Amino acid sequence: MDRIFLAVMVSAVLLLIVASDLLVNGPSRQEETAQMANIQPVAARLIR
């Protein structure tokens, strides 16, 4: 019973974190972050 309660609490906290992130940044900011992940690091550009 304690494990189930702990799992529910952890899931609720993670859900609140995601919801607050979407409220603060909005869905449009998520796309910019995804595009920034595709940018090559500076070291990779120097080698080429």
Reported as a single tens digit per residue, the pLDDT across 4-47 is: 999 999 999 999 999 888 888 766 655 565 666 666 666 555 55
For residues 12 and 18, what is the distance between their CA atoms, to the nearest angstrom?
10
Output the six-digit token pair for 28: 């449009």
The whole-number pLDDT of residue 23 equals: 83
Helix extents (H) in the chain: 2-37, 42-47
Q: What's the sign of the alpha-carbon dihedral 14, 16, 17, 23?
A: positive
Instruction: Specify the pTM.
Output: 0.51
